[in-house]
Amino acid sequence: MNRSELVFVPTPAVGHLVSTIEFSKRLLDCCDKFSVTILVMKPPYESSTTLDSNPSTARSLAASHAHIKIIDLPSVNRPFEILQQSVEKYVTVYIENYKCHVRDAIADHVLPNSSVSGLVIDMFCTTMIDVANEFKVPSYLFFTSGAGFLGLLLHLPGRYDRLGTVFKPSDPVSVVPSYVNPVPANVLPSFAYMDTGYSCFANHARRFKETKVIVVNTIFELESHAVGSLLDCETEIPPVYTVGPLIGEHHVQPSDRAKFGKIMTWLDDQPPKSVVFLCFGSFGSFDEAQLREIAVGLEKSGMKFLWSVRKTPPAGQFVMPGEYANHEKFLPQGFLERTKDVGILCGWAPQVEVLAHKAIGGLVSHCGWNSILESMWHGVPVVTWPLSAEQQINAFQMVRDLGLAVELRLDYRRDSGNHFVVADEIEKAVRCVMDGDGAVRKRVEEMSEVCRKAVGDGGSSSTSFRHLIEVMLPSLDKKEE
């Protein structure tokens, strides 16, 4: 049987790539009429070891499906001078520079072997709609964050047209239809305060409406209000399909296998739900003063801990955080000796596998969307410590709208110099999240069951997936006539 090709163009960042691969796997499991090609760009930052800079790792994640092909795209110049305007503008221009390589990859490596039934693009990749139009195929938006944030982005263009200004942190609360509660200005993403960042995302949101459908990595029951607001949106948007949670696995690099084994062996020796896990994503890092305060807070809490510590890059460099060769550099004197039977520090950590372990009772997190879904899936309550991107608004939604997280901070942001979390706050939040009888824990455990039912037979995400395929199939059937 001839299969028609869906070409995926993900944003070149680890979370986006993992979600894209998981989406393509689920799609192929549900429909045998497609095959998938994923075009992998080089990362927009300097790195040689992370998942998204290593197409061979992407291939290993997709290896279980014979009908997924990975194509490594050539390098393009990194326009670092644009970083001074905003990260969002920089990433957008960087991806625009890949347009010709995407066009060439489709023409040279896909079309000679099969017909293309559509391009599946990421939120930063709206420029690739032009490529889809050139090949006269539909484009589909795969939105790797939540429906609440999607609603915020779709709200931006109309707000700017009415008011002609960006947000300010001191603004009063705003009514954003995709959130239950009025949104304080200080939990909005940093780009909302900047002309270039705001206009960049507003332009992307305008182009979202040019796609045939919007696929969101969420669960209807988790974000029923946000999804409902999108369905009732006053401005016309494409149909929205909720297909989450799409949770991928983390490929263990050969150099990390010994670390992986040490972490999992230590967890095996701990009682159920006794360990708090601190992990802040691919770009999550703190200065040494804040790291020292975290250590003091953990020790005062008396809880067992697994702490993933990353080293902040030098100022002005757009690179991935590194790892400490010597943790004692920033730790309080004697900390490692006093806590040797209580916790361990590591650099890299396999978050999905750790959250799945019976010993984990709580997660102190940056509130990236993938991390939120992973914690909900495994029934692990979260302490909110957002750092950048849309993490502040995610934290707000989890605490205020959904009651599914413990608030440490909602407005912390790494790019601000006036934020510092003291040990007493950390101790209190850790104790709260590890409370075995806590209300948040019970709600998260209930949501875990909801997530699993959603992807099962007859569940909301499975049903949405079937309807999505019905929309995609007419494009395929037309080409086969």
Residues annotated catalytic, as ranges? 16, 122
Contacts of 167 (CB under 8 A, 6+ apart): 174, 185, 188, 192, 193, 198
DSSP 401: I
Contacts with 207 (C-beta within 8 Å, 6 or more apart), sequence order: 126, 129
Give buried/exposed letters for 236-246 (b at 16+ CB in 10 A, else e): ebbebbbbbbb
Tokens of 133: 């139009």
CA–CA dist 79, 94 (Å, integer): 7
**What is the rounded CA–CA span in Å between residue 95 and residue 39?**
12
Complete DSSP assignment for 79-129: -GGGGGT-HHHHHHHHHHTTHHHHHHHIIIIITTTS-EEEEEE-TT-GGGH
DSSP calls for 344-400: EEESS--HHHHHTSTTEEEEEE---HHHHHHHHHTT--EEE---STTHHHHHHIIII
Only one residue has tokens 């100022």, namely 315
Angle of helix 439-454 versus helix 423-433 axis, rounded to 10: 60
Q: Which amino acid is at 167?
A: F
Q: Give the separation between CA 172 and CA 78, rounded to whole angstroms.
A: 38
If 0-12 CB within 10 Å is exposed, 13-18 middle and 19+ buried, where does residue 407 land? middle
Cα separation, 349 vs 306, in Å, equals 9
Cα(236)–Cα(396) distance, integer angstroms: 27
Q: How far apart are CA 294 and CA 309, in angstroms?
A: 11
102 token code pair: 């995407």
Give the relative orientation of helices 288-301 and 423-433 as an angle to the nearest 10 degrees.
50
Q: Could you tell me which residues are beta bridge partners of residue 121?
A: 9, 141
- Rounded CA-CA distance 293/423 in Å is 5
Residue count of the chain: 481
How far apart CA 122 and CA 133 sit, in angstroms, is: 16
